[in-house]
Homo-oligomer: A and B are copies of this chain.
Amino acid sequence: MPFLEDMKVGLRRELGTFTFTAEAIKIFAREFDPQPFHLDEEAGRNSLFGGLVASGWHVASVCMKLIVADGVRARQEVEARGEEFGTGGPSPGFRDLRWLKPVFAGDTLTYSGEIVSVRATASRPGWGIVQSKNVAVNQRGEEVYSFIGSVFLPQRSDRN
């Protein structure tokens, strides 16, 4: 893995967890999203969120961090078995990104990805596109973030 042939709809990977401390929320917000409810507890309490909340772009960027780390882990697992690792191409994008609920200071999100479609590409022989739904769930079991990402993967059959 990951070659196209190894990817099956329903296959799921835990991507990891991340705790959004007040400090991490404010550091990101000061640089990229300096709205009062991302910068200050009191302003957060007085906002419609009712508390200090993370920028949605922070929640999304942490997901990217975990996806990249999971890719490194996946490669190590495969190489530890002495198998070849199919290196994917660039992402052709994503769709349906949703910030479903606020992420409050102190919340721990668990991110995971599940394959929702696998298909060979007519335009790029020897390759295919895999779509995964990536989701973050907080410690109360609420889904707070999701998007459907795509990645190009090589077909093993074309290489051997």
**Contact stretch, chosen from A6-14, A59-67, A112-120:** A59-67
Indicate if the CB atoms of B68 and A61 lie closer than 8 Å: no
Indicate if the CB atoms of A64 and B33 lie closer than 8 Å: yes
Closest CB-CB distance, A35 to chain B, in whole Å? 6
A residues neighboring B (CB under 8 Å): 31-35, 48, 55, 57, 60-62, 64-65, 68-69, 89-90, 93-94, 97-99
Tallying the copies of this chain within the complex gives 2
Q: A33-B61, A33-B68, A60-B60 are in contact. List 10 more A-B contacts (CB 8 A).
A: A32-B61, A33-B64, A33-B65, A34-B65, A34-B68, A35-B68, A48-B90, A55-B64, A57-B57, A61-B61
Known: A57-B60, A60-B57. A32 touches B65 (CB 8 A): yes
Indicate if the CB atoms of B57 and A64 lie closer than 8 Å: yes
